[in-house]
């Protein structure tokens, strides 16, 4: 990631209207800011959310609340709780998210 041409700024995430994204089950609510090529999101998953696709986009993701389950296409599974993060490169390892109890995430991609 090359961060350039972004002046200092602050973000009040509660001022950003969420967009709804249906999962196979449950909902995701994204609050999104775009800074050049860098997308920054505050994402909330409802309980019992399951992504409706395998994602090959790279992310740096921090779990703020709840519990996030991440499954890689090769079958490996990981559980993130508040304070844990993961990072994956574009086109490196397809993954999908789910959560039994809901989760709030901070994501940079």
pLDDT digits (tens, 9 = 90+) for 37-72: 999 999 999 999 999 999 999 999 999 999 999 999
Q: How much is the pLDDT for 2? A: 75
pTM for the structure as a whole: 0.93
Residue 17: DSSP 8-state = P
d(CA 71, CA 73): 7
Q: What angle do CA 101, 23, 42 make, to 5 degrees?
A: 65
Give the chain's domains with CATH numbers.
Answer: 20-108 (2.60.120.10)
Give the Cα separation of 25 and 52 in Å (integer): 8
Nearest-angstrom CA–CA distance, 23 and 98: 9
pLDDT at 7 over 80: yes
Of the pLDDT bands very low, low, confident and very high (cuts 50, 70, 90), residue 1 is low
Band (3; pLDDT cuts 50, 70, 90): confident
Spatial contact of 58 and 109, defined as CB atoms under 8 Å apart: yes
């Amino acid at each position: 990631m090359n961060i350039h041409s972004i002046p200092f700024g602050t973000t009040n995430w509660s001022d950003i209207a969420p967009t709804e994204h249906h999962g196979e089950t449950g909902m995701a609510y994204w609050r999104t800011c775009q800074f050049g090529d860098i997308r920054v999101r505050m994402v909330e998953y409802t309980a019992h959310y399951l992504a409706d696709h395998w994602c090959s986009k790279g992310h740096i993701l921090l779990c703020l609340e709840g519990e996030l389950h991440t499954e890689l296409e090769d079958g490996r599974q990981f559980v993130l709780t508040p304070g844990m993060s993961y990072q994956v490169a574009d086109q490196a390892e397809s993954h999908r998210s789910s959560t039994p109890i809901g989760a709030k995430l901070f994501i940079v991609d």
